[in-house]
Amino acid sequence: MLKILFSPSEGKRQGGTLPPSELFGATQAREAILKRYNEIVLGNDVQAVCELFGFKKAADCEPYRQDIFTSPHMHTIERYDGVAYEYLDYFSLAQEAQEYLKRNVVIFSNLYGPILGGDAIANYKVKQGNAIGSIEPDKFYKERFSYQLDLFLGESNILDLRAGYYDKFYVTKKPYTTLKFLKNGKTVSHWAKAYRGIVLREIAKNNVASLEAFRALEIENLSVAEIKVIKNKTEIVYDIHD
């Protein structure tokens, strides 16, 4: 089966209708970081909250100042609404494609660490790169979840669509494939998020089960320019055509 590694986004949808539930891996392994987050968010040190969230104004923090253990939860793949998720356009997909994303996408959250698209999470805010108290999320989760991710990925084909920052959370020891997008011969940065969302959407729509099937997939406005293999990494380079 094809498993896809994906990034979270700063933007999130508020609300939710789900109760808290078991997350990917061991919930107990997350206990320290989740409790510390809750202590900061519900505490009286407003400056500490603003710094954690990456906000300057206390008023901007209010939508996120809620108990993550008791507040309404939402499927991970539904919670995020940044650029990649806008182009994924999850809610317009058929149910079969939505279920595919819930089962096969691993998202690397700055609070929850590696979680499945179908896991349920609260509305939260952690600016990328920030520590939660004295806990650095990338090191925390790399130490505690790399083995579990190795087991979960098993013999699956791996497509890594994460932004480079999230390599800090997990490095696969097995062969994997990444994508690079060029426009007029130059690497795109911001719009790479959009094309990762577009690619993920097409994968889900077509119920892609292997890298072989993925390579055969025709994606509008994209053509393969080059395929590079370096050790256990295969990089597919796409040209973008408007």
Residue 177 clears pLDDT 90, i.e. is over it: yes
Average pLDDT over residues 160-171: 96
Average pLDDT over residues 101-127: 97
The residue behind tokens 């939508």 is 63
Residue 242 clears pLDDT 80, i.e. is over it: no
Residue 26 clears pLDDT 80, i.e. is over it: no
Give the pair of three-digit tokens for residue 221.
Answer: 């406005």
Q: How high is the pLDDT of residue 40?
A: 97
Q: How high is the pLDDT of residue 208?
A: 98
Average pLDDT over residues 28-35: 92
C-alpha–C-alpha distance, residues 103 and 116, integer Å? 7
- Report how far apart, in Å, the C-alpha atoms of 187 and of each of 123, 155, 200 are: 33, 31, 19
Strand 2-6 relative to strand 157-160: parallel, antiparallel, unpaired?
parallel
Report yes or no on whether pTM surpasses 0.85: yes
C-alpha–C-alpha distance, residues 47 and 113, integer Å? 24
pLDDT digits (tens, 9 = 90+) for 43-76: 999 999 999 999 999 999 999 999 999 999 999 9
Where are the domains positioned within the chain? Answer: 2-240
* Average pLDDT of the chain to the nearest whole number: 95
